Amino acid sequence: RPDLILDELLRVGRRAFVSFPNFAHWRTRAALMFGGRMPVTRALPVSWYETQNIHHVTVEDFRDLARLKGATIERAWFFANEIEIGAPAANWRAEFAVFELSR
């Protein structure tokens, strides 16, 4: 339960860093739309049945969860092709996201 893990991270520490592959990246969306199957990408490099990423999440989903849990997003970094990109359209463009949170 990622929501409970986030609660625990913010309970024991003043700050928490959370990273995840962004399931809303355009290549992932295209793989689902045109291939009809769960994608295998650089950020999600194994088949759905082998992954430890049981809960797929998007940048916007995570922002919603942070808000719901009363966490403050101090900083966020977004990456595509291992290069940092800006926040505009991060939900669409970022393959991977890192958030720094506080409560």
Q: Where are the domains of the chain?
A: 2-102
0.75 cut: is pTM over it? yes
Instruction: Tell me the pLDDT tens digit for each residue of 29-68.
Output: 998 889 888 778 777 787 777 777 667 889 999 999 999 9
Residue 61: exposure state from Cβ atoms within 10 A (0-12, 13-18, ≥19): middle
Give the 3-state secondary structure of residue 20: strand
Please report the pLDDT score of residue 79 as a whole number: 96
CA distance 95 to 85: 10
Give the 3-state secondary structure of residue 69: coil
